[in-house]
Structure 1
Amino acid sequence: MTKRILILSVFVVASCGLAYELIAGAMSSYLLGDSILQFSTIIGCYLFAMGVGAHLSKYVADKDVLGRFIDIELAVGLIGGVSAALLFMSYAWMAAPFRTLLYVLVFMIGAMVGMEVPLVMRALNARDTAFNELVSRVLTFDYLGALAVSLLFPLVLSPHLGLVRTGFLFGMLNVGVAMWTLYVFRAELVDGGGRVLRACAVMFALAVGFIQSDRMVEWGEHGLLGDEIVYSTTTPYQRLVITRWKDDLRLYINGNLQFSSRDEYRYHEALVHPVLEALPWARRVLVLGGGDGLALREVLRYPNIEHVTVVDLDPAMTQAFTTRPELAKLNKAAFSDPRVNVVNADAAVWLQDTKEMFDAAIVDFPDPSTFGLGKLYSVPFYGVLKNHVAANGLVAVQSTSPFFAPNAYWTIDATLREVGMKTWPYHL
């Protein structure tokens, strides 16, 4: 029975260890951008720290193995559990030390996680477990735990709980392992009472954090964005936040400003009107992205337009700008217009599957700051898009800024020309 408890604890601690690594990578990507750099450096630091921790575990005396394992579970549960909240708050309210804090936390957590499996293996070895069985069973459950979290994190935990609450959840799982180990091996432990009190205190603190996660996120976002938050939600695809300052509404996606209601008309008019003014005969228009309905609002100003298809990945985005009065007012209830058909799908996949043709297309995607978005600015994507636009039609593409991101701007221009489109670059 005691051997099974130790083996099952490996599954849990492996799950928690990978979860903290994913949380740190996702949080730094969300706040700093450049997800490849963030995940690469965090994974490297974490694995190095695990090696350091594995080395340090040899200095734990045999008689203290279980006690130190419990102490480490409490420490990693506390530090790992609060890591997401601590990182978000530090960036929101004092951005300067964020990177230092990030890598200090990653190293500390990695070092403690690196000590866990060697200590469990020593505890099992002390209970006369055959070496070949010991290694195979421990590593099997270690890898199974990692597999479980690698699937649950992107599909369930991050979109439905959020990073901060997920951190507290796994912290409580670590502390749960410590408390269960305390109970099962209570006869072998010294200072069991003190450890029980510490475990209860840490569990209580993490449970409070879990319950108050939404308030922490709201407080952090207020510090980060500065204005009153009137709407926020985490979807499987992104974090949406709407703020208000006097009569100015602002949309942030993953912390990046998308528009201010005071001047968004300049951008959306410049995106739509050059195309539709040149096509007075246009009847069918495709809008890719633009889930806020603001580009759609400009398209619907033209009485000759009979049908508009809007393809946006996130249903929460189009739903918010359809049903929330202050947002629907911005786009003049564009999504309620009978000429409009909203499709919530990946634009690249939808274009591959549809047979519809259009007279004009408005491409209003976020800047290509990630590889996921980059595919929407690629030669294959523009090639498929071209096949769905009339030979004498036009396409307008949001292309970042020729001043602030000239490489991206002219790369998009070159990519469009690569598929045979004639381009007319312009900017505000």
Structure 2
Amino acid sequence: MPDIKPKPATDRGLVPGPRRFFLLLSVAACAASGLVYELALISLSTSLNGGGIVETSLIVAGYVAALGLGALCAKPLLKWAETAFLWVEAILGVVGGLSATILYLAFAVTGQSLILLVLATLLIGALVGAELPLLMTMFQRGRMVDANESGSILATLNVADYVGALLGGLAWPFFLLPTLGLLQGTAAAGLLNLVAALAVAGLVLRWSVKRTHLALVATVIVIAIVGLSVLIVRSDGVVATARQRLFEDPIIYSQQTQYQDIVVTKDGKDRRLFLNGGLQYSTRDEYRYTESLVYPAITPSTQRVLIIGGGDGLAARELLRMDHITDIQQVELDPEMIRVANIVLREDNRGSLEDPRVHVITEDAFTWARAGGGGVQPFDAILVDLSDPDNDTMARLYSEEFYGLLHKMLRPEGRMVVQSGSAFTTPDVFNRVRSTLSAAGCADVVPYHVQVPTFGDWGFNMCAPANTQLQVPNTAPELRYLNAETLRAAEIFPPDNPLIEMPPNTLDHPVIVEDLRRGYRAAGE
């Protein structure tokens, strides 16, 4: 009786056809989800930790390194490539989809997230890295292929992977983050990952995986899909509970925009605005800050004023109290911040941003200034009211190049005041701004600092013509804090907090970010 050899398992190889095409679509979907996870981690590092070069580099470099580690770890699983692939996608969908929520909750409880960010990056990267070896094995299973065909298969997989990554990279900033927010957007990516894995299990690999194994992994995926769906529906409650732990007072408004996390709290008459967790003002004492920012830059002849930032509308409110100011141009990046100012913060800014004398431009200030402000006429005064430079994006707006662009928009006799952080807690930031304004061409830079109880000792630097003296204009309305005596005292810097010269902050050397962090660390010692 002749020997009968079993037929090669060619049916398990994914030859060109509907199954193979559908698997490539699923690969693209999973690749899109994988990139969304990485972008979400970078967005979280910005929201929770300031997101500087160090954090971003750790996430990107860690993710790339983990891809290689995942590919190496997949080698023992190649024997069971189909089953292993389904489990990898199931775990990736769960881990990736829950990553933002877990990290946000961890930050709310412990106040720290960098270590967890790195660990999440490594785990997600390793799972994504395991996909390609498993897919290559699935495509070639039971088939004799030559070098050309192997190269062709690899090219096909790479195309599906890279196209999916492109779609995920576009979906995150233009749809998922602004529409759903960090937590829901990441969970939606996890849901896509799991649905793609379930589709692969049911339509592509049902003949290649044992029924018991297929049933088990499919059950896990379905449970995970239900869990992430519930999270998407109910995440607002989770976020509200976690976010409230970060703030002492009750939250009356919160929104994650394309650019920042906006939170407004209120306790009695005290309303507070937070951007990315940092306090911007308290109604208890914001007038001290706002008056100190605005009035030293104003003279009786001031008519046209430019505000950079100031999305809360408080600086515009003070300018509108002077009748001789006829035109206020305000450049604010985030349109949602303007909406919040006009509705939630209206009682504080008195509707200033809807006054006909105020023209709001929602654009990146650096891009706007580099383009010459659309050909605007020179300004009599410029107020730079921005958040602290806690990341490299903000550092651009504290650079010699940016101040130089603004200085060109200023009349020869005009003045520009820049909020410069705490003169006591972050003295290097304060002095760095002063030196950077000098390097940008200011004839004279007048430093001063005032006491704002909520903030502490807060500093400003005024770019002005030579020998300019600090003074309150005689056209100013009655003020609650600022007067001639206050300003004279504001110019005095005690021996324990002297003025020092420092190299300027530039685009190629954004050292002011480290100045800020060094100041915070020193304050905690």
- Give the TM bin, normalised by the shorter chain: over 0.9
1:42 to 42, 59, 71: 59
Residues in 2 aligned to 1:156 and 1:252: alpha-carbon distance in whole angstroms? 24
User: Where does the alignment leave 5 or more consecutive residues of structure 2 unmatched?
Assistant: 1-17, 451-525
Distance apart, 1:25 and its partner CA: 1.7
The AA in structure 1 aligned to 2:107 is: Y
Of residues 25, 29, 34, the one that matches 2:42 is: 25
Deviation at 1:410, TM superposition (A): 1.6
Aligned residue for 1:400, secondary structure, equals: strand
Report how far residue 127 of structure 1 moved.
5.1
Kindly indicate whether residue 141 of structure 2 is the aligned counterpart of residue 126 of structure 1: yes
Q: Deviations over 1:321-346 (max 9, x none)?
A: 1233xx11111222243332222222
Work out whether residues 10 and 117 of structure 1, in 8 Å CA contact, stay in contact via their aligned partners in 2: no
Residue 338 of structure 2 aligns to a residue in which SS? helix
1:193-236 deviations in whole A, cap 9, x for unaligned? 22222121111001111112222222221112232221122322
Q: How does 1:188-337 map to 2 (within 5 A)?
A: 188-190=208-210, 191=212, 192-276=214-298, 279-324=299-344, 327-337=345-355
What is the number of equivalent residue pairs in this alignment?
Answer: 422
- With over 3 angstroms needed to count, the CA separation of the structure-2 counterparts of 1:196 and 1:245, relative to structure 1, is same
Structure 1 residues 179 and 252, CA, compared in 2 at 3 Å: closer, same or farther?
same
Matched, 1:390 2:411: yes
3-state SS, counterpart of residue 37 of structure 1: helix
Does the residue aligned with 2:307 lie in a helix, a strand or coil? strand
1:107 to 115, 122, 146: 122
Provide Cα deviations, 1:133-160, integer angstroms capped at 9, x if missing partner. Answer: 2111111211212222222222222222
User: Are the structure 2 counterparts of residues 406 and 127 from structure 1 closer, same or farther at C-alpha, using a change threshold of 3 Å?
Assistant: farther
> What is the rounded CA distance, in whole Å, between the counterparts of 2:319 and 2:395 in structure 1?
26
Structure 2 letter corresponding to 1:363:
V
Q: Distance in 2 between matches of 1:79 and 1:315?
A: 33
Shift in Å, 1:294: 0.8
For 2:172, which of 139, 142, 153 is the aligned residue?
A: 153
1:365-376 equivalences under 5 Å are 365-376=386-397
Percentage identity across aligned positions? Answer: 36
Instruction: Give the residue type in structure 1 aligned to 2:232.
Output: F
Q: CA deviation at 1:61?
A: 4.8
Q: One-letter code of the match for 1:347?
A: A
The answer to whether the 8 Å contact 1:309/1:340 transfers is yes
Indicate conservation of the 8 Å contact 2:181/2:257, yes or no: no
The answer to whether residue 89 in structure 2 is matched with residue 76 in structure 1 is no
Cα distance, 1:258 vs structure 2: 0.9
Structure 1 match to 2:522: none
Shift in alpha-carbon separation, 1:405–1:188, aligned structure 2, 3 A:
same
The 2-side partners of 1:220 and 1:415 are apart by: 39
CA–CA distance in 2 between the matches of 1:349 and 1:175?
A: 40
What is the distance in 2 between the residues matched to 1:81 and 1:6?
Answer: 21
As a proportion of its length, which structure holds more helix?
1
Query: What is the TM-score of this pair, normalised by structure 1?
Result: 0.93
Deviations 1:209-267 (A, max 9, x none): 11122222222211122322211223222221111122211111122111111111111
Distance 1:308 1:100 in 2: 45
Partner of 1:171: 190
Larger radius of gyration between Structure 1 and Structure 2 = 2
CA distance 1:341–1:104, shift in 2 (3 Å): closer
- What SS does the corresponding residue of 1:426 show, helix, strand or coil? strand
Residue of structure 1 in register with 2:27 after alignment: 10
Tell me, yes or no, if the aligned pair for 2:97 and 2:189 is still in contact at 8 Å: yes
| Whole-angstrom distance in 1 between the partners of 2:105 and 2:278 | 17
SS in 2 for 1:212: helix
Secondary structure at the aligned position of 2:224 is classed as: helix
Larger displacement relative to structure 2 (126-135 or 156-165): 126-135
Deviates more, 1:353-362 or 1:112-121: 353-362
Is contact 1:310–1:340 with CA below 8 Å preserved after alignment? yes
Q: 1:274 & 1:375 partners in 2: Cα distance?
A: 25
* CA separation of 1:53 and 1:280: change in aligned 2, threshold 3 A: same
Q: Which sections of structure 1, spanning at least 5 residues, go unmatched?
A: none
Tell me if the contact between 1:160 and 1:234 (Cα under 8 Å) persists in the aligned partners.
no
C-alpha deviation, 1:300, in angstroms: 2.0
The residue correspondences of 1:351-366 to structure 2 (distance < 5 A) are: 351=369, 352=372, 353-366=374-387
Aligned to 1:379: 400
Structure 2 length-normalised TM: 0.77
1:387: how far off? 2.4
Distance 1:309 1:413 in 2: 24
| 1:176–1:127 distance in 2 versus 1, CA, 3 Å | farther
1:284 deviation in Å?
2.1
State which of 364, 367, 381 in structure 2 corresponds to 1:349: 367
